[in-house]
Structure 1
Amino acid sequence: MAKGAAVALALVLIFINIAGQAHGQLQVGFYKRKCGFADVESIVGRVIVGRFIKDPTITPALLRMQFHDCFVNGCDASILIDGSNSEKTAPPNLSVRGYDIIDAAKAAVEAACPGVVSCADIIAMATRDAVFLSGGGQYNVQTGRRDGLVSLATNVNLPAPSISVSDSINAFANKGLTATDMVYLLGGHTVGVAHCSLFQDRLYNFQNTGKPDPSMNPLLLNFLKFKCPQNATVDNTANLDQNPLSSLIVDKSYYRQILLDKGILQIDQELALDPLTQPTVTTIANSYDFCTRFGQAMVKLGAVQVLTGTQGEIRKSCRAFN
């Protein structure tokens, strides 16, 4: 193992053993002493480090997967189920990726501790480790989730990129998350990309006016028109964080960019314009504790409608019910 990889792995393994506060029936260190001498979180950590070294874009992939999972039936790994009518097949989930990473982590855990660790917990642990490797600091993942028994495309109702701030606040409130939680969680857009089709209307026909979104920075508008021609046959992508030096780093740069009218998705830009969220965006952009607060919001997201105790099941394969 290269020296840099060894250091990254060591840091992950140190931090994932730090104790934290429990939330309901979830708790930090749930699997300690449940797998003999096997350290479940270290096993997951090694898989994520190995993949991150090859592909740092796993961080936005896993952040998106966890969000899409937790917003439908709660954090129960229902998004992982294969099938002709499962959540995977719903339009908003067709571009979700990272399933193979979860499979690899599950296989490694099962080899050391069969039938004990849920796929839902693996999603949470894997995302936590990827965020840390991308510079986003470390937060303590609470574990003890069980896997869900339902996965239906018809249950998928996720906030669209064009959703208004007030409607988005309501959507998050329905999951027990505050407006401030929402602003921090949308900070996950500090990494990753968006396909042109998700913001094409802002470039050419905003709200059916036949004109671009007047709130978009003119230089960004011209750049995006070049990347996303009106009649293109290929759905290109653009970085959600328009600072090229930090588009792969989990940091507060995203908030600074949307304050400069450089939001890519409509909801991103509206966060910096709407009086309901603009003060929070400004505070975060000038703060020194983004990583800590982002981690706290991720912990709250990971506790949404969880199954614990004897609810649900522990899947043998993350892609199928037992």
Structure 2
Amino acid sequence: MHQGLGTLLALVLILSCISVTSSSSSDLSPDFYALTCPNVQLFVRNTVSFFSTNDGTIPGKLLRLVFHDCMVEGCDASVLIQGNGTERTDPANLSLGGFDVVESAKRLIEVMCPGIVSCADILVLAARDAVEFTGGPSVQVSLGRKDGRVSLASNVRPNIIDTSFSVEEMAKTFSSKGLSMEDLVVLSGGHTIGLSHCTSFSDRFQKDANGSMVPIDTSIEKNFASELMKKCSANATAATTVSCDPVTPNQFDNQYFTNLLSGKGLLKSDSELVNDPKAEALIDSFSKSQNSFFDSWAESFVKMTSIGVKTGDDEGEIRIVCSSANG
């Protein structure tokens, strides 16, 4: 081989290795699987549609699942790993659902495209499709994430938002992930679908001497508070849930923001948003324009699902089964 040509080829190989091992959201692409698994999005969409048609709670569960994944170790499907001391064992994650949807999609894809598509990408696609299935906007997401190998319960609490957080605490958590106040308000709008356990907002009520629940949070609209107290009565079980949006619970729309302005935010963290002037201005704007909310949702969802992505082989892998790291 000519010496100059050999040197050039060696340089190309070195640069190729550098590009493969570098890790950045810029390494992602909507066409990442165009040659290796061209029907991956169809596989996921059909799986989400099947499960959601049979269980109306699935879309909300998938949306919450991807949020809890991305906020902790980045969007690497670490929340899907089972086992002692994993993220799934933290109390904040015990009520998560939708795992079977991701696993079913993964099994199908492994048959059609073995060892190609990550669980992290499947989860992002499933959450994206869940929003569209319930009437929300269609969002183009980039793909190419690797699955993480680490899942620790101890990483959950320092990174996830608690329902008792103030606006300042929520904004600080979001800022640490590269997300803005607008992203906080927009992504909180995901509460337009889904359910919440009574225990998630029990701190807004207390039991009186007769054992009945009474509101201690005066920001809750009176009739809404009465409805919640009936559904979450003293004899309600730990599994009792209520819709996050009492008006259009199964529709992804801008009703959530109207609810906030009328004192019908379910979680304390929801109601807290109206206490910040910038957040309240956004809430008012989104309540008046669903198109504005949908446009902002597309942007914020893409940002959120790009947090801490792993693209290099030294950082992650393509799991064979989503619930466990490769042996």
> In angstroms, what is the RMSD of aligned CA positions?
1.6
What's the offset of the Cα at 1:233?
4.3
1:148-159 → structure 2 map (5 Å cutoff) = 148-157=148-157, 158-159=160-161
2 CA distance for matches of 1:258 and 1:182?
Answer: 14
1 CA distance for matches of 2:254 and 2:265?
Answer: 13
Aligned with 1:264: secondary structure? coil
Alignment partner for residue 300 of structure 2, among 266, 273, 297? Answer: 297
Higher radius of gyration, 1 or 2: 2
Q: Using the TM superposition, name which of 180-189 and 227-236 deviates more.
A: 227-236
CA contact (8 A) 2:167 2:275 kept: no
CA contact (8 A) 2:215 2:225 kept: no
Alignment partner for residue 213 of structure 1, among 210, 217, 223? Answer: 217
* CA shift digits 1:255-305 (9 cap, x unpaired): 001100011100111112332411111111112322221121111110000
**CA distance 1:248–1:289, shift in 2 (3 Å):** same
1:62-81 → structure 2 map (5 Å cutoff) = 62-81=62-81
More helix per residue: 1 or 2? 2
Aligned with 2:205: secondary structure? helix
Partner residue in 2 for 1:19: none
1 CA distance for matches of 2:244 and 2:250?
Answer: 10
Partner residue in 2 for 1:12: none
CA contact (8 A) 2:220 2:264 kept: yes
Q: Identity of counterpart residues, as a percentage?
A: 40
Partner residue in 2 for 1:190: 192
2 CA distance for matches of 1:24 and 1:306?
Answer: 10
What amino acid is the match of 1:293?
A: S
What amino acid is the match of 2:129?
A: D
CA contact (8 A) 2:25 2:309 kept: no
* CA shift digits 1:128-165 (9 cap, x unpaired): 11111100010001100000010011111211001000
CA contact (8 A) 1:228 1:235 kept: no
1 CA distance for matches of 2:112 and 2:215?
Answer: 58
1:80-91 → structure 2 map (5 Å cutoff) = 80-91=80-91
What amino acid is the match of 1:63?
A: L
Aligned with 1:194: secondary structure? strand
What's the offset of the Cα at 1:309?
3.0
Partner residue in 2 for 1:314: 318
Partner residue in 2 for 1:107: 107
Aligned with 2:73: secondary structure? coil
Aligned with 1:226: secondary structure? helix
2 CA distance for matches of 1:87 and 1:267?
Answer: 22
Partner residue in 2 for 1:15: none
Partner residue in 2 for 1:3: none
CA contact (8 A) 1:203 1:224 kept: no
Indicate whether 1:61 and 2:61 are aligned: yes
Q: Using the TM superposition, name which of 24-33 and 45-54 deviates more.
A: 45-54
TM-score after normalising by structure 2: 0.86
Aligned residues: 293
2 CA distance for matches of 1:228 and 1:235?
Answer: 10
* CA shift digits 1:186-211 (9 cap, x unpaired): 11100011111111121227xxxx96
Aligned with 1:272: secondary structure? helix
**CA distance 1:40–1:211, shift in 2 (3 Å):** closer
1 CA distance for matches of 2:284 and 2:237?
Answer: 38
What amino acid is the match of 2:295?
A: T
Partner residue in 2 for 1:4: none
Alignment partner for residue 277 of structure 1, among 279, 283, 305? Answer: 279
Partner residue in 2 for 1:31: 33
Partner residue in 2 for 1:240: 244
1 CA distance for matches of 2:231 and 2:44?
Answer: 37
Indicate whether 1:126 and 2:129 are aligned: no
What's the offset of the Cα at 1:84?
1.1
Indicate whether 1:256 and 2:258 are aligned: yes
What amino acid is the match of 1:153?
A: A
**CA distance 1:300–1:223, shift in 2 (3 Å):** same
CA contact (8 A) 1:121 1:143 kept: yes
TM-score after normalising by structure 1: 0.87
Indicate whether 1:170 and 2:152 are aligned: no
- Which structure has more relative contact order (CA 8 Å, sep 6+)? It is 2
2 CA distance for matches of 1:194 and 1:250?
Answer: 16
1 CA distance for matches of 2:226 and 2:50?
Answer: 38
CA contact (8 A) 1:204 1:211 kept: yes
* CA shift digits 1:71-100 (9 cap, x unpaired): 111000000111011111010010001111
2 CA distance for matches of 1:232 and 1:59?
Answer: 25
Aligned with 1:72: secondary structure? helix
What amino acid is the match of 2:185?
A: V
Structure 1: which 5+ runs fail to align? Answer: 1-21
CA contact (8 A) 1:164 1:270 kept: yes
1 CA distance for matches of 2:184 and 2:215?
Answer: 29
